[in-house]
Structure 1
Amino acid sequence: EGQYLVNRAPVRRTDLVELLSDVGLGSAMHSIVGQGKVEQVLSSRPEDRRALVEEAAGLGKFKRRRHRAELRLARVAIQVERARDVEDEVRKRLRPLALQATAAERAEKLVGEIFALRARIAQLDLDTASSRRSEAESRRDSAALVRRGVQGRLEGLLADRARAEDELSDAAGKREGALSALYRVQGGAERLALRSESAAALDERLRAERAALPTSSTGDNGVVELERAAHEAARRAREAVREREDLAERARLASERTVAVERVLAEQEGLPPAARALAAQGAQLALAALEVEPGSERAVAAALRARASAILAADPAAALRLLVQARDSGLGSLTVLAGQEPQALLRDYAVVPLDALLDSPVPAVTPEGFGYDPARGELWFAGETAEAALLELEARRRDLSTQASTLESQLAAADERVADAELRASAAEAAFARVAPGYRRSTIGPAIDALSLDRLLDLSRRLLGALDGARAGVARFEPTFRARVDAGAHRTGELGEKLRRLGAAEVELRQELEEAGSSATSAEVELARIEAETDEARRRLEAAGDVSPADGDNRDELALRVERLEARRIALGMVNPLAQEEYEAEKERLEDLKAQREDLERSLDELERLREELAETVERRFAETFAAVAEHFEEVAATLFPGGEGHLRLVEAEREVREDGSEIETEAGVEVELRPAGKRITRLSLLSGGEKALGAISFLFALFLARPCAFYLLDEVEAALDDSNIARFVELLRRYSDRAQFVVVTHQKRTMEAADVLYGVTMGPDGVSQVVSRRLPQQDRAAANAAA
């Protein structure tokens, strides 16, 4: 599809049209002539008749080629102009780039000299740093040797000091231990004396209290009952609180589900855009006015069908206003129920099971959404419609609202139960609190107090005996501990004097160690500085790259030369280091643009030559074809107008002017002149209808004869001719039937009688149309010709 094949080879449509035009075939060619084309010849301008001659000459393809060549010529001319502009721009950029490249080359040369001088300076700095490193390392080694000697002496002294400190610590510890023991013995003796006095006083007080205690007590069973009632009331209060918390959680969940369902209902997803938009503006949906029982949502959607998403209106006028509003807003289709209640529409349908649907004598729907109308013979299925889903959500919302209301009522009742239980628990606890203290004091307290006093009296007697034995033992140890304290004090005094002498010696050694360390640190710092200078010199030497160092051993003179070269480089200003590359790239681009421009100019010349050749070909072939058409027109006119004559001549076309005032080049048109026998008029417009038709046929036959085709299709071309002129027309067909095959569509009997083969459509006795054909015998055609 969309492909054309010639000899099984794919070709373009243009190629196929040009190939058929060479043999006179085509939609605009002269091989197919209808009655409309005859009228066209009669009423056409000279320019239009020239177009017919050009088509007969096969100039269409040449003119199309010339037009395509002119279009390409215009495009190539624009491209050439654009290429020249780009080439000029590149040429303008080349000179600044050349200057930048020269400056960059000079700067590069100066930088090379600077790098060479810096490399030599770096070498001199490396040599100087090497000699300074040797001296610093020698100072560092000497200082390290001195520091090691002082460090050894200091370590010996510190060891002696550590031993003396250990001895002092041991002696001080022994003295402190003896002193602590002495203090403990003395303190213990004092505490034992005080405790003995306290124990004696306690024993007397306990004996007095034991004698004063009662011997019996009574109980009260009512207190126990009050305590049990208080515990039971507290338990019931806790249960009521737990029940209330459970109801509150269920009420919260029901409220959240209700809010979610109401949010989905408010969005109204799935409804037609017009219904959803108008509902958002305050209009009432039919769905919102329905009260649907749970489980029957799909049955309702099936019964209402398209009316389920309708909008309710009070009267037809209001309904029409809503429809006009939906149309003006571009909301699409909309259904409006004017003055109707959606609930009333459901009364016409019965709800039946699916297996009984087809047996229903009245319109019915099923809970699954199937519908059946026996009067109309319609069956339908609502399916998972948005309306059914919204109805289900509305039922769910009502159910959740009912649950929420019930839970709120239960929650209020639970609050009352909690308050009542808490009140009862508080009353029971208050009653128990009033009687419990007196009960415990009167029954339990005396028994416990008597038992405790007996035990305390026994402990008091044993404590007095132990305290008397301890006071006698403490008095025997006090002289021994006092002698040990005096011996420890003498030993610590001797060791303290020794530590003072070792401390003075340590100060002197540490001073010597610090001086040796300072010398070593100074040498290390010097070495670090020399190492940094060495690294910096190496970095500068590496930065110079492969440049050979300059000559010279005077560092100051080399540095002065670097400053001078740097000043010259700065004087050059900012340079473009990529200028040379950009210059070469732009130069190469200029060469490419030049080559492209030359190619375009050659293409322009070739297209100009092609256009001129095509124009010359068109003019030449038109002149040849026009001469042949004019000659044949005179011949055919003499046949169709016996005694008359006809001529074709070229006339200048009217000049056309463009909007800019320039004239449009026009071509000469073709004028038809006919003079029937006995008349002086020559213009077609002044002839009769039949003469005009014969003149047009003469012109068309002149085209046929100038460029013959394999066949010609003539459709009602002789419709305006009378019998005598039809005879001339038939004679003309006969005369040239040996040159081409003529297929004539006609209603004229005389034309049909002169045909070799007749094709037609007839209706048989059975009333069926059928195509028939008949080849006329030679004698019938001869008779017809004779009658003509």
Structure 2
Amino acid sequence: MYLKNLTLRGFKSFASATTLRFEPGITCVVGPNGSGKSNVVDALSWVMGEQGAKSLRGGKMEDVIFAGTSTRQALGRAEVSLTIDNNDGALPIDYTEVTIKRTMFRNGGSEYAINGDTCRLLDIQDLLSDSGIGREMHVIVGQGQLDTVLHAGPEERRALIEEAAGILKHRKRKEKAIRKLNAMQGNLDRVTDLTAELRRQLKPLGRQAELARRAAVIQADLRDARLRLLADDIVTLTDQLAKEEADEKEVLTRRGAAETALNQAQEREAELEERATAAAPALARASETYHALSRLTERLDAVRGLATERHQNLVAVQGEVVQRRDPEELEMEAEEAAAQEEELQTRLEEAREVLETSVTERSAAEDALHREERRLEAASRAAAERREGIVRLAARVEGLRGRLTSNEAEITRLEEAAQQAAERAATAQSEYEMAAEEAAGLDEGDAELDDTQERFARQLSAVDAELNQLRDTERSAEGERAALAARKEALELGLAHKDGAGTLLEAGLPGMLGSLAALVQVEPGHETAVAAAFGVAAGAVAVSDEASAAAALELLKSEDAGRAGIVVARAVPSADRASWPSLPGGVRYAADAVTAPEHLSDAVAALLDRVALAADTQEARDLVSALPQVRAVTPDGDVFAAAMVHGGTAAAPSLLEVQAAVDEAAESLEAATEAAKRVAVELEEKKRERAEIAEAAEEVTARRRQGDRRRNESAQRLGKLGGQARSAEAESERYAAAAAKAAASRGEDAQKLERLEEELAEAEEISAAVEEEAPDADHRDELSALASRARATEMERRLAVRTAEERARSIAGRADALLAQAAEERRAVEREAERRRNRAAQATVAQAVVESARLSLERIAVSLATAETERVAAEAEREARDGELKTVRARVRELSVELEKLTSSAHSGEVARAERRMRLEQLETKALEELGVDVPTLIAEYGPRVPVPPATDADEDAVPLPYVREVQAKRLKVAERQLNQLGKINPLALEEFAALEERHAFLNAQLEDLKKTRRDLMDIVAEVDARVQEVFSSAYLDVEREFAAIFGRLFPGGEGRLVLTAPEDMLTTGIEVEARPPGKKVKRLSLLSGGERSLTAVAFLAAIFKARPSPFYVMDEVEAALDDTNLQRLLVIFEELRESSQLIVITHQKRTMEAADALYGVTMQGDGISQVISQKLDRPA
């Protein structure tokens, strides 16, 4: 096995497709620094699966894509293909030649392929690792990797030997087993927890199941006792109802007599009430007059009292005297306050004048200080500006000097670049003209392809429209078919008998013909009418003879399957249709609308004897009135007969109606199914037609795409070449213009430099002269002290003004207030005199009111005595009348109470009977709904006259006992108590316990499987450890032997050996390197020279290579630090390695090149793109 070809396209500096063909032996790759030699090593590492950007000497993985140059645009992807000769079968794949390809796109996506088939990175790594190459790429020794080996730790050196020995796959196997163990441990824990949880649940659930079994037995006894007590209640209520209805007539007779006496008493009561009503107004007037005079007396007496009290209060107030201040005294105080206020205002004006003088002095002092400070600040700023200007001039001078120097170099570079760009432009233009000639003939035949493609597109569009229409039709037909099928199924469910008829049909007794509804056919539209005419027979079953009917009834009774109607198809005399009355026009008999099998025709005719089909209710009524012997049925199912009418709102559809609907739905479903099949056939034919057209169109499209691809490639190439020519030409012009501009700028900069140097010298002289005179600050200090004193004086005088203002403000307005108070006192005296005059007048009026009230009270007392006499007489007459009325009303009440009792008794009896009837209905409903037994069956099987069978746990010879209610009630209570003692019963416990037992057994089996798998994985880990220890021990001994031998050859007279850091643990031990060159006693690598350390690292790698050889090795300048002597020794080692492995060496050493079988030279022109040339060498025999 050896590397055969390496193709790079867009990888780092290899922009164009570049192929290197290798041969067995030693191949050297040479070239100047920076030409891209190491990129070949990076490409080999990258295509074999390297994932570290730093290992590829980049910052991120996208850096491997060609980034572009000044003459070539950046590419969108990098692609490397490596072909390996596999004639010896070293790679575990059935190919003698294997090509591995890796592609990286600018957006970060990657693709991998083996022999053109897309694969994963893991597939490539697994393929190479099985051949001894390893995932860590120990076969590639890149730049700086020797230093990595030198600084590697013991464990890292061990990893190099493990990879060469192929131990990595064993460790991967161990890691995979450990990962499975870790994942399995979670499952094992979960299954263990689940098993324990189920085990905990089994015991209580088992107890619940046992309770459920016991509860079932108790519930059976409970049901039996409840049924017997319920039957007893129903029988008792029925007997009580019969007795109470017999006593109802006596109560009604007594109530009639009481009603007559009550009517007479009520008439007398009405007469007395009428007389009382007539006398009531006179009594009311007398009482009203008496009360009105009494109220008037009270009001006059109150007015007299108020007037007397008012007169006394007014007389008392006239003698009171009010104390007030003298108005003249207040006016004298006001004059004194005005004099004080005037004096304070005079002092305030004097203080303000002094303050104004202080403000003026302070302002003048501060102005002088500010002028002096501005003068000093201006002098300081001018000095700073001068110094800053000198610094700026000096910086500009230095900048111009540097720019003149760089301009010279830039002009030279631009002239050379302009010449190179002109050469590239000429080359690109020549290539562009050649490519344009090649692209001229690519457009032939496009018009014909366009017409063909357009024709196919129109055909496809038309076929697609037809397909969509057919799909819509198919969906519609399928939807209709599904709806009809669902309707048919739903209707068929309605045919299932849920009573005794269903049991008979399922039993399949001899002579059973089937459901009557399924055996007869009814004309459409008459189903409901015929079903009503049949009555209960519409849901009946048909049997062949009476014996079959008797057997069916015995089956229903024995299985307690309920009731059923049975039609016997025996030979009966046919009804004489001639005896049937003639029907009016448009009306016919129901028998004419029914078709029945021959053996059922007589029975159907008997069931529909003289039954006519009426169009509506009115027609049915008219028909029965005219022909009483005829029954009439309407389309709604109402039945009219001479003595009976049956009907009402629509009930559930009869079996006859449902059967007719099923037949109709079946016919519609069959038609819809056939229609759907036809549409499906048309759809398949149209799909085949479209596929043929699409295939032909795709062929034309492929030809068109191929032509477009060729044109696009040609256009891209033309555009690229034209762009390169234009770019190179424009670049040459830009470089030339830039060179001319740089030359002009150089002359201007020289003139500016001379002028600026003169300005700098003049500025330095001026600055030195001015800085000798420093500004004096003593005068500013004097002015500052003067301003401070002026501000202090101003503050003192401002405080004096504030004090004077406060004193003047406190006394201001006092004089005005005193004058206002004096005026108010004079007005108050005048108001008091006016009030005294008013009170005297009011006292005179009050005395007159007192006298007038006394006279009025004397006259009213006489009238009040007369009114009292009249009122007493009227009340006496009323009391006599009320006595008689009271007696009559008492009689009315007595009779009313008696009548009410009798009515209540009758009503109570009626209510009691209604309640008993309702109770009876409730008991019947309870028996049917809760216990599933109808009343006749309940009385017949559980009634009080039916003996009670022995208990389930009684002896075999026990006999039935007579019914005793107390015993059954006790039995019910015992059963309820036992059921309550059991507590809450889980009715699903039996099923849940069985399911839980089954799940527990399943989980136990799963747990054992997991434990066995865990033991197997532990065995695998132990086996892998033993294999790793065996392989590593063997590899280490071989590497140790080879290292000692190679070190002795590279360092004649020296000694080198490998030492295990933990010999007792061959699974984790590290490896130390001891190297002692000849003539030295040191063994530590860090104390060796650079060349000795590099040679030691090479010896360690060569020992690994020889002990466990790989098909090839790639080394990048590993001998760069060696002298000729050591290089010659290393080349001897290379010669030995080439016998078993292919060597690819990146080198600058001539001696190494001489030892090569083939040379590849890598160069890079000014465009920044690497190119390769090869030379095969003839080695001496």
Q: Could you tell me the TM-score, scaled by structure 1's length?
A: 0.48
Q: Could you tell me the TM-score, scaled by structure 2's length?
A: 0.34
